[in-house]
């Protein structure tokens, strides 16, 4: 290979901050669906899927809320990146988190209250998050119970947790996620032939040895430790399930294609890196959903204490949210708002990935419901008022979209309640204390 060219390219790449943006191609395969492409050949409807999308530090109050209540005509300035999708999203303004006398744990109380229904008393949450509640209803029969990713490259930037003390750790590397989902253990639903692998059966034999020993192990455990062991076995069940699935021929899915392997940037919190890796994650997750590898995806664009930063700047978004002066002409903090705009572009990129998967007359987004949330309504003062909440997708027809709901003073759990009901979780109310609500947002229910 031409040493000069290599050097020139290397020099150019080094010169460009952080490298080039990457797009993921979508090769098509033949279809095996019903004639409309809207269902599996067996006649079952394509499953509804759920996604959570989290970003830190909210948005600027007054700049994101759509002008009209009801049908969205003019999105707020800060949501302008979502303009192409305004008919497929809902925006919820005015809702808040109640502390009920608990301390305000900055960048913690707000996010976890909206995601679990209960405002935490201390910096510790032990109840499941909404994606787990939904996943337990829709996602128990897929290869992965859920897939979590963090565009910031930090495994602890996850807003998904089962009961118990620990988070579901997030994937930090798009290549790692790709290998995990589409690597050697991926069974292509559209592959012409399928033979059950004896090695998989062999693995089942040895794993059953562990489950057979459960009673032995439990014998000497106290109640708390027994609960942790139960969680272990519940997790082990996922592997057993994965092996079961590997031994069955999967139903063909027209829209299932493997994503192209793409170059990731080394994980980090610089905004270009986050944007780049987030795009790669979104593409892989979209394919994972289309191929029915999972029904629940959880994306963290930035953590609640957003460590997003620009190269060459001495301040992270978080520090700037407190220190940057409000520009008297603009009426907002310019650098902080720069990040907020990138965040919304990120959300738009997620929607684009889902829209890119065509299924019959619609897209993957149509049979999804994504809930996007943050930790605060105004980061500068850690406000819990008017925390931005959005949903995207029609939940397979259960949700109406293109609507702005304004519910000033209502607990943000109304959105979580509505989302769960749309996804089929059999509940009438959700949340505790002042966050408890039974008021479904009927305007958006189909």
Partner 1 sequence: MKMSIEKPARGKIILGAVLAACTAPLALMALPHAKADDSAQVAGPVAMRRLTQDEYKQIIEDVFGPTVTLGGRFEPDMRDAGLMAVGASQVSVTASGIEQYDTMARKIASQVVDEQHRASMIPCKPADPKAADDACAKQFLAKAGKLLYRRPLSDHELQTEVAGANAAATKVKDFYAGLGLALASLLEAPQFLFRQEVAEPDPDHSGQYRLDAYSKASRLSFFLWDSAPDAQLLQAAESGELNTGRGMAKQVDRMMASPRLEAGVRAFFSDMLGFDAFENLAKDRTLYPKFNPRVASDAEEQTLKTIVQVVLTDNGDYRDLFTTRKTFLTQALASIYKVPIAPPDGAWNAWVPYEYPADAEQAGILTEASFVGLHSHPGRSSPTIRGKALRTTILCEKVPDPPGNVNFTVVQDTNNPQYKTARERVTAHRTEPTCAGCHKLIDPIGLGMENFDTIGGFRTTENGAPIDASGELDGVKFADAIGLGRAVHDNAAVPACLVNRIYEYAVGHKPNKAEGEWLKSDLEKEFASNGYRVPALMRAVATSDAFYRVTPPTTGAIDAPTPKFADANSKQETAK
Partner 2 sequence: MFPVRKFGAVRGLALSLAGLMLGGLAAGSAQASETRGYVVSWFHRAAYSQDGDCPGGLNPLSEVFVKRILTDMGKSPETWAPLFKDYPANMYGAVVMRGKIDGKPANVYVNPTSVPDPQIHTVAGKYAYGFNLDGKGAASPNGFEDPETHEQGVNNQLFRALGCFVAERGTPTTRPTWPAIEWDAGRDQMPAWIIEISGIDSIQNSDNVTVRITRATGPTTRNASGDPQADMTYRVDPNPRMQNVVHARIKDGVLTTDRFNFDMLQDPVLGVAEYIFKDAKLRLTFNPDGSIKGILGGYTPWKTIYVSLAVGGSVNELNLSIDMPGSYYALRRLADAYPDPKTGENTMISAGYRIEAVPAFLVHPQDTRVSQATGLVPVSQTR
**Applying CB under 8 A, does 165 fall inside the site for partner 1?**
yes
Q: Where are the alpha helices (DSSP H) in 291-383?
A: 317-323, 334-355
**DSSP code, position 423:** T
**Rounded Cα gap, residues 63 and 186, in angstroms:** 44
> Taking CB within 5 to 8 Å according to partner kind, which of partner 2, partner 1, none is near residue 7?
partner 2
Does 2 engage in binding with partner 2 (CB under 8 A)? yes
As given in the structure block, the two tokens for residue 90 are 């809902």
CA gap 101, 116 in Å, rounded: 18
User: Binding residue for partner 1 (CB under 8 A) from 1, 3, 4, 223?
Assistant: 223
Shortest CA distance to 121 belongs to which of 435, 444, 441? 435
User: How many residues in the chain?
Assistant: 446
Residues 321-380 within binding reach of partner 1 (CB under 8 A): 322-323, 325-328, 380
Q: What is the C-alpha to C-alpha distance for residues 132 and 24, in angstroms, rounded to an integer?
A: 29
The nearest distance, CB 183 to partner 1, in angstroms, is: 10
CB 160 within 8 A of CB 129: yes
From residue 5 to residue 24, the character string flagging contacts with partner 2 as x (rule: CB under 8 A) and all else as - is x-xx--x--x----------
Q: Which does 322 bind (CB under 5 to 8 A by kind): partner 2, partner 1, none?
A: partner 1
Give the span between the Cα atoms of 262 and 227, in whole angstroms: 41
Q: Does 312 bind partner 1 (CB under 8 A)?
A: yes
275 interacts with partner 1 by CB under 8 A: no
> Hey, how many other C-beta atoms are within 10 angstroms of the C-beta on 284?
27
How far, in Å, CA of 402 to CA of 400, rounded?
A: 7
Least Cα distance to 241 among 148, 146, 145 occurs for: 145
DSSP codes joined into one string, 384-426: -SS--EEEES-GGGTB--SEEEE-TT-BTHHHHHHHHHHTT--
CB of 283 vs partner 1, minimal distance in Å: 20
Closer to partner 1 by CB, 94 or 135: give it: 135
Q: Please check whether residue 416 is in contact with residue 117, taking contact to mean a CB–CB distance below 8 angstroms.
A: yes
Please identify, using beta-carbon distances, which residue of 8 and 213 lies nearer to partner 2: 8
Task: Give per-residue burial for 246-266: e unless 16+ CB within 10 Å, then b.
Answer: bbeebebbbbbbbbeebebbe
36 binds, among partner 2, partner 1, none (CB under 5 to 8 A by kind): none
Pick one of 23, 156, 248, 429: the residue that binds partner 1 (CB under 8 A): 156
Q: Which of these ranges, 307-315, 343-351, 400-408, 432-440, lies near partner 1 under the rule CB under 8 A?
A: 307-315
Among 148, 246, 254, 355, binds partner 1 (CB under 8 A): 148
Choose among partner 2, partner 1, none what residue 192 binds, the Cβ cut-off being 5 to 8 Å by kind: none
Q: Which is nearer to partner 1, 4 or 206 (CB)?
A: 206
Residue 279 interaction partner, one of partner 2, partner 1, none, beta carbon < 5-8 Å per kind: none
**Interface with partner 1 (CB under 8 A), residue from 199, 361, 426, 442:** 199
Binding residues among 72-111 for partner 1 as defined by CB under 8 A: 99, 103-106, 109
Select 8 or 313, whichever has its Cβ closest to partner 2: 8
Out of 31, 175, 210, 349, the residue judged to bind partner 1 by CB under 8 A = 210
Answer yes or no: are the C-beta atoms of 267 and 32 closer than 8 Å: no
251 binds partner 1 (CB under 8 A): no
User: Which alpha helices (H) appear in 268-333, and where do they start and end?
Assistant: 271-290, 317-323
Residues that bind partner 2 (CB under 8 A): 2-5, 7-8, 11, 14
């Amino acid at each position: 290979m031409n040493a000069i060219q290599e050097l020139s390219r290397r020099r150019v790449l080094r010169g460009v901050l952080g490298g080039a943006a990457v797009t993921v191609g979508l090769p098509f395969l033949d279809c095996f669906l019903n004639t409309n492409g809207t269902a599996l050949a067996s006649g079952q409807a394509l499953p509804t899927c759920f996604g959570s999308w989290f970003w830190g530090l909210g948005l600027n109050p007054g700049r994101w809320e759509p002008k009209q209540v009801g049908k969205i005509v003019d999105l707020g300035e800060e949501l302008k990146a979502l303009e192409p999708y305004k008919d497929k999203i809902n925006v919820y303004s005015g809702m808040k988190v109640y502390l009920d006398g608990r301390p305000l744990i900055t960048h913690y109380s707000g996010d976890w209250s909206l995601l679990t229904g209960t405002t935490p008393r201390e910096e510790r949450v032990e109840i499941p998050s909404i994606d787990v509640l939904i996943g337990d209803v829709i996602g128990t029969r897929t290869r992965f119970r859920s897939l979590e990713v963090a565009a910031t490259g930090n495994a602890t930037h996850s807003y998904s947790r089962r009961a118990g003390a620990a988070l579901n750790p997030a994937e930090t590397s798009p290549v790692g996620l790709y290998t995990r989902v589409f690597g050697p253990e991926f069974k292509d639903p559209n592959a012409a032939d399928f033979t059950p692998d004896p090695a998989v059966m062999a693995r089942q034999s040895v794993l059953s040895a562990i489950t057979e020993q459960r009673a032995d192990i439990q014998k000497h455990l106290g109640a708390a430790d027994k609960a942790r062991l139960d969680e272990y076995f519940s997790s082990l069940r996922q592997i057993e399930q994965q092996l079961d699935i590997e031994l069955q021929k999967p139903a063909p899915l027209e829209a299932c294609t493997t994503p192209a392997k793409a170059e990731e940037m080394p994980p980090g919190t610089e905004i270009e890196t986050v944007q780049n890796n987030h795009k790669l994650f979104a593409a892989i997750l979209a394919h994972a959903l289309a191929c029915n590898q999972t029904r629940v995806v959880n994306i963290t664009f930035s953590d609640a204490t957003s460590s997003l930063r620009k190269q060459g700047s001495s301040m992270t978004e978080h520090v700037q949210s407190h220190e940057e002066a409000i520009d008297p002409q603009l009426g907002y903090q310019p650098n902080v708002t720069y990040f907020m705009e990138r965040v919304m572009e990120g959300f738009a990129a997620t929607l684009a990935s889902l829209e890119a998967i065509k299924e019959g007359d619609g897209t993957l987004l149509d049979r999804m419901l994504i809930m996007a949330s943050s930790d605060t309504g105004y980061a500068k003062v850690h406000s819990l008022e008017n925390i931005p909440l959005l949903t995207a997708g029609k939940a397979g027809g259960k949700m109406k979209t293109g609507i702005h709901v304004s519910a000033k003073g209502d607990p943000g759990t109304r959105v979580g309640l509505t989302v769960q009901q749309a996804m089929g979780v059999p509940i009438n109310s959700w949340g505790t204390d002042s966050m408890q609500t039974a008021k479904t947002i009927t305007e958006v229910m189909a």
